[in-house]
Structure 1
Amino acid sequence: MDSSASLRHYLNDNSGPLILDGGLATELEAQGIKLQGDPLWSSRLLHTDPQAIKDAHYRFLLSGADVITTATYQASVSGFINHLDVSCERARELLMSGVHLAKETVERFVSETLPTGRRRPLVAGSVGPYGAFLLDGSEYTGAYAEKMSVEDFKVWHRPQIEGLAAAGADFMAFETIPSLKEAQALVDLLREFPDVKAWLSFSCKDGRCISDGSLFSEAVQTVIRSQQLVAVGVNCCPPALLQPLLDSAAALRTDTSWVVYPNSGEEWNSEHGWKTSQTASELIPKLSHTWMKQGAALIGGCCRIGPAEIAELRRELKGSISTAE
């Protein structure tokens, strides 16, 4: 069974939602690695400390994740060339290594640890928005889209998708997309890779709109026509926003599943980082049953959500870390 067929099978096997991992950068920082302010974020470790990435992936697998996402959210061929002073060929190798590290970790987990009844984990190739490259928090506003065309976005994203697909990612995760224009570009670009499946998740500013102010329902309607998207949804927003967002577009969802992986509810500031609050990540397990009833087939966490929270989510939805049910 090929990887895209495996994903379709998992989504239709009636054993409940796939559990996604949490914030990879969050887990790396929890281990004492400084990422704040780095223009490459966790993707720098593809060059400097690949073992740290594999270890973080492994901790999420041990905690019950069915899907791990590559350390490539903030990775780009241009970014590696600019910030690491490497050749184009080496930059592409680094991008592809994100997939290789994740797949090697899955192989280790399967051979050493995979409990009976657990699905074989899949690898999602993380593709962040253009705003992630800008390092100014604009993936939460989408303001940059006003100065870019659909073709500009396609030119930017093409090397990343090509590299992750060539490296063998099971599917793509287009993450934290803040604008309708960039989402349309990604869906258009996906047609150049007919064997590639993906999910696309938006960043949203409230319970009705994505970050650029477009209605979430309009954004879903724009992208859901793609036969290559296995899921559409939301990531990196407060957990409480998900129910109204999904409700607002409920009539549009047909064969496409929802994907949801919120952050802890804390606020991000590009200068100071995450603003600590009492908003607790335990909201995710608590609300996950509602999202599942709304049609969410992939549920996990984003920033500030670590392995412990993913383990609790799996226990809430499956009853145990070790079983599929």
Structure 2
Amino acid sequence: MLISNFTVFMPSVLTLVGIPGLESVQCWIGIPFFVMYLIAMIGNFLLLTIIKSERSLHEPMYIFLSMLGTTDIGLATSIIPKMLGVFWFHMPEIYFDSCLLQMWFIHTFQIIESGILLAMAFDRYIAICYPLRHATILSFRLVIQIGTAVTLRAAALVTPCLILIKSRLKYYHTTVISHSYCEHMALVKLAAGNIWVNKIYGLFVAFTVGGFDILFISLSYIQILTTVLRLPQKEARFKAFDTCVTHICVFLQFYLLAFFSFFTHRFGSHIPPYIHILFSSIYLLVPPFLNPLVYGLKNKQMRSYVVKMLLNEESSH
């Protein structure tokens, strides 16, 4: 129902622009996104298959890695199919409730990923600082409880965003979202009413998750570094530090891209919109794309199982 020429009451359908200013070349931009998505799916499914089939990998580090792979599959799948629909098939319309659901999945998977990175840092901290007690402290039951808590935390923090949008934001200046997917602030900015509560809650979630997780991940690695430097043998120090390099790389690429996207969206008014949209899309796709490559190439055990699986496939033919 139209209230005025400029305000719409609770629109049923929204329109995703894609990448503002680059509409004419979106079909080409979609190609690398599709390739990244394909590699992310193959890589993460391969990791999950190996971890499930090899009993020697049924330990905390690899269970957390399987959780990370599952989260990456969910995150990438929440974004890419609809994005490619906009880029390639000129299907920009999305139902309002579907947009909210996509937003919920994207932000929930982001927070779950952050929580799993914290859990993996905790696992490395126990493995290096208390190696003799690692199996006792990080039992299978505790690992599952951590995974459940991480998931429930994400759902509990993101769900109020949906409730606040549905309950507070009744009128909208426009139904056109200048983005390639449904993101919280991109959707909130369409509203004609007072959005300060929604903005404050969004900031609260970002700083609560980011601040808490980054603080404890950093403290874990400070403790790890201190312990490693105290080891008497150079070879032992190198081996202990090498086990953490992969996690540090994943941790840095996830949070650096996250903070860049977060701050440019809220404070980067001088940055062209297409730059922000491109980087925010890349930020969500890079972890699912890179994580299986980083863990598969860096981890000697994973490399050996990948080679073993490929050789078995070749011999069967």
- Structures share fold, TM-score greater than 0.5: no
Structure with greater helix share of residues: 2
Give the TM-score, by structure 1 length: 0.25
The one of the two structures with greater contact order (alpha-carbon pairs below 8 A, sep at least 6) is 2
Q: TM-score, normalised by structure 2?
A: 0.26
Between Structure 1 and Structure 2, whose CA radius of gyration is higher?
Answer: 2
